[in-house]
Chain A
């Protein structure tokens, strides 16, 4: 049988109504930044400029925090949970109505495949608002006391890997519990947050309840240091998370952190191999590996190593890398030049330290930022590629002989966000589940997310949980 070639199936850009420039969203209105400074956001797949974005400074931050405070005191804290819920339901519906537009804009700004934004990022974002809407008038039943109280004004900083979804993870529970928000999206992916600001307007959300300020790392640092912030929520690197935690240690402002990971995906000899191969692929190549809970360390039981690797490489050769707007695309663009440089640096260290590199044969486009799906074999636990988060499509393969050794290796990291277990034996799943030090464990599956399921890490992967009943605690006083 001859191979079928894939014809391009690009999603149209026409639906994305991206403006030339965007102001800051403060007190319900788009306003220009105090210092008139701008930066550009580009499409990482072709390096074309998408829009000019305002760079917020301390003056803008102060304005946004004041707007959030005033909205909290005068409006939001006086509103019943029932009415707050209605706003969140409205937002969920608006996101669903505009989902195709959001998917295209997210793909343009982030570089991730349209298949993922369409099927995962956007529907899950809407689901987060829908889920938390239902909590807004039931908080007294959530197990945080009879009269759970919000913090007040919450500062939220989100990363570039799932821009709208991370916004939803932050804003939905914060509003449901009665807080108001100043949110800063990542420097390289501000567009869907600004589109979301339009959604807030369409939902008639009272001005100041959600404020979106764009900028760089300096903007984020200034935001968390603002004296009138009652709570900080951050998703990003462990390094920055620690800086934030230290800067808030004196005031003892409550903080939740979703940080890095170095997830182990453990395949036992009795695992259904073909399913496991798919799971490993999804675990590390989903979203170009820009996933804090990625299964970036593959732990193979020694006796299936060769067979498994063979199948894995065969499967990797079928991965389609290219135009993120093409519905056939599996792997899109790396989000930024800086991230690409980081992946190259760590990948080079793997070679320099003696691991064997293999990359899937695929055509790398001329423009934009790209990295072919890559695996390293012969990796030891001392190698940097086994210890440090690469945050790219790079998998480190290690082996083990006994289940105990698998657990020991899996836990041998300061991180503790996720782990995967592949085996046909139920008791072994639960045994491994017991012993793995990770906040989320996927057994015979990987990278599954749901608003009803708490997400967050052990050890240096963070503080607190997001999602589910447990995630509400982060936004209620004294409840984390």
Chain B
């Protein structure tokens, strides 16, 4: 007989898979109480490292062509497809759902990447404009990426929630620091392994596992995070996070669990440029 090789679930920061600098981990168990894994328990320092990595990656990701970003997002779908069995197994273990239900979720998650891949070079056409000002000026408005977006993903469907959070943020040209579900973090880490092999530049996505009460306040107050997706935070905790996010006027949103172009535009900023017309 040969023993299984069990996986060590670690963080994903700047394209690498470190353990928490704090050396901590925590246990997750299934519904019946069986041990599943010891994911890393990220610290505030890990979060700061993740934000720094995202910040450093932003200018080249934002200035990549939208066509290029679209291809990379599509590549993520391709790589996930090959790992779908592993996603199904992890979802079944964490969420105690049937294999059929898990398969549906994986299918939806992959399709979500494909959908957003196509948006990357279309969102500006839909959202931008030329503006007929009363004067001899050419005036146009474009939608630009915001910068670094913190995401607390919705955890009911742990893989789909993560993808619904990440894909629109990436399609817009933003970088992300994603906090995985405390109870169901495995999908996020396995997704990180897909991202690491999909030509997503290091630092564009950073994924932390750990205790949400410990990490979310730092996500909300960090002055280098520009936007926050609080879809995975319940109403009462969200209010406290919104208050501390005001320190640098983060753009804070929560979304229903479905894909939409609003999820892209919520983390974009409109820029308007004027230039005189003349000979």
Known: A458-B269, A463-B249. 14 other contacts (CB 8 A): A143-B126, A238-B249, A245-B246, A257-B249, A429-B275, A433-B273, A439-B270, A445-B276, A448-B137, A448-B274, A450-B131, A453-B141, A456-B270, A458-B271
Q: Does A454 contact B (CB under 8 A)?
A: yes
Tell me whether B133 is interfacial, beta carbon within 8 Å.
yes
A-chain residues with CB within 8 Å of residue B131 when the two chains form the complex: 450, 452-454, 468
Flag A243-271 by CB within 8 Å of B: 1 or 0 each.
00110011010000101000000000000
Q: Residue B133 contacts which of A433, A443, A453, A465 (CB distance < 8 angstroms)?
A: A453
A245/B134 contact (C-beta < 8 A), A441-B272, A448-B274 known: no
Which residues of chain A from 134 to 148 have a CB within 8 Å of any chain B CB?
143
**Interface: A155 (CB within 8 A):** no
Specify the main secondary structure of chain B where it touches its partner: mixed
Instruction: Tell me the chain B residues, 239-279 only, with Cβ under 8 Å from chain A.
Output: 239, 242-243, 245-249, 251, 262, 269-276
- Whether, in the assembled complex, B82 has its beta carbon less than 8 Å from a beta carbon of chain A, the answer is no
Give the residue of B135, B262, B272 whose beta carbon is less than 8 angstroms from that of A439: B272
Please, which residues of chain A bring their CB within 8 A of the CB of B127? Answer: 143
- A250 to B242 Cα, complex, angstroms: 8
Residue on A nearest B251 in the bound complex, by CB:
A463
Q: A450-B133, A450-B135, A470-B141 known; A455 and B243 CB under 8 Å? A: no
Interface contact B134-A127, CB-CB below 8 Å: yes
Residues of A within 8 A of B126 (CB): 143
Whether A414 contacts B248 in the complex (CB less than 8 A), given A444-B276, A445-B137, comes out as yes
**CB within 8 Å of B: which residues of A?**
127, 143, 238, 241-242, 245-246, 249-250, 252, 257, 259, 414, 429, 433-434, 438-445, 448, 450, 452-456, 458-460, 462-463, 465, 468-470, 478
Residues of A within 8 A of B243 (CB): 246, 249-250
Residue of chain B at shortest CB distance from A242: B246
Closest chain A residue, CB of each to CB of B141: A454
Q: B141 is contacted by which of A429, A434, A468, A478 (Cβ under 8 Å)?
A: A468
Q: State whether A450 touches B275 (Cβ < 8 A).
A: no
B154 within 8 A of A: no
Query: Using Cβ atoms and an 8 Å threshold, which residues of chain B touch A241?
Result: 249
**Cβ of B25 under 8 Å from chain A:** no
**Looking at chain B, what size class is its interface with the partner chain?**
20 to 34
Q: Which residues of B contact A459 (CB under 8 A)?
A: 226, 248-249
A477 to B235, CA, bound (A): 19
Cβ-closest chain A residue relative to B275: A443
Which residues of B are found within 8 Å of A452, using beta-carbon distances? 131-134, 139
3 closest pairs, A vs B, by CB? A450-B133, A249-B242, A249-B243
Determine if B273 and A252 form an interchain contact, defined as CB atoms under 8 angstroms apart: no
Checking A252, A433, A448, A465 against B239 with a beta-carbon cut-off of 8 angstroms, the contacting residue is A252
Chain A residues positioned under 8 Å from B245 (CB to CB)? 249
- Is the C-beta of B68 less than 8 angstroms from some C-beta in chain A? no
* The residue from A242, A252, A439 contacting B249, defined by CB atoms under 8 A apart: A242
Residues of B near any A CB (own CB < 8 A): 63, 126-127, 129, 131-135, 137, 139, 141, 226, 238-239, 242-243, 245-249, 251, 262, 269-276
**Cα distance A429–B272 when bound, in Å?**
13
Q: How far is the CB of B79 from chain A (nearest CB, A)?
A: 31
CB of B275, distance to nearest CB on chain A (Å): 5
Q: What distance in Å separates the Cβ of A269 from its nearest Cβ neighbour in chain B?
A: 19
Tell me if B246 and A453 are in contact (CB < 8 A).
Answer: no
User: Quick check: B275 and A444 within 8 Å, CB to CB?
Assistant: yes
- Return B51 CB to nearest CB of chain A, in Å: 16
Which residues of A have CB within 8 Å of B226?
A: 459
Contact B274 A442 (CB under 8 A): yes
Least CB separation from B126: chain A residue: A143
B274 A443 Cβ-Cβ under 8 A: yes
Q: A445-B137, A448-B137 are in contact. Are A245 and B249 (CB under 8 A)?
A: yes
Instruction: Pull 12 A–B residue pairs with CB atoms less than 8 Å apart, ordered by A.
Output: A245-B249, A249-B243, A439-B271, A440-B271, A441-B272, A444-B275, A450-B133, A452-B131, A455-B272, A458-B271, A459-B249, A462-B249
Expressed in whole angstroms, the Cα–Cα distance for A470 and B131 within the complex equals 11
Complex: A442 Cα to B271 Cα, angstroms: 11
On chain B, the residues within 8 Å of A465 by CB distance are 270
- Note all chain A residues with C-beta closer than 8 A to B63: 434
Contact, CB under 8 Å: B272 / A453: yes
Give chain B residues whose Cβ lies under 8 Å from the Cβ of A439.
269-272
Give the CA-CA distance A321 to B186 in the complex, in Å.
Answer: 68
Tell me the bound Cα distance from A460 to B226 in angstroms.
10
A469 to B238, CA, bound (A): 30
Residues in chain B near residue A242, CB distance under 8 A:
246-247, 249
Q: A469–B132 Cα gap in the complex (Å)?
A: 11
How far is A216 from B70 in the complex, measured between Cα atoms in Å?
51
Residues on A with beta carbons closer than 8 Å to the beta carbon of B135 = 448, 450
A246 to B250, CA, bound (A): 12
Q: A281 CB to closest chain B CB, in angstroms?
A: 16
Which B residues touch A478, using CB under 8 A? 262
**Quick check: A249 and B134 within 8 Å, CB to CB?**
no
Give the chain B neighbours of A440 by CB distance below 8 A: 271-274
Question: Nearest Cβ in chain A — how far from B231, in angstroms?
Answer: 14
With a cutoff of 8 Å between Cβ atoms, the chain B residues found around residue A252 in the complex are 238-239, 242
Q: In the complex, are the beta carbons of A250 and B239 less than 8 A apart?
A: yes
**Residue contact A433 to B276, C-beta cutoff 8 Å:** no
Taking the closest CB of chain B, its distance from the CB of A234, in whole angstroms, is 12
Residue of A nearest to B62 (CB): A434
Indicate if the CB atoms of A438 and B249 lie closer than 8 Å. no
Shortest Cβ distance from B278 into A: residue: A444
Q: Are B271 and A470 in contact (CB under 8 A)?
A: no
In the assembled complex, the Cα of A428 lies from the Cα of B220 at a distance in Å of 36
In the bound assembly, the distance between CA atoms of A252 and B249 in angstroms comes to: 14
Q: Please name the residue on chain A nearest to B239 by beta carbon.
A: A250
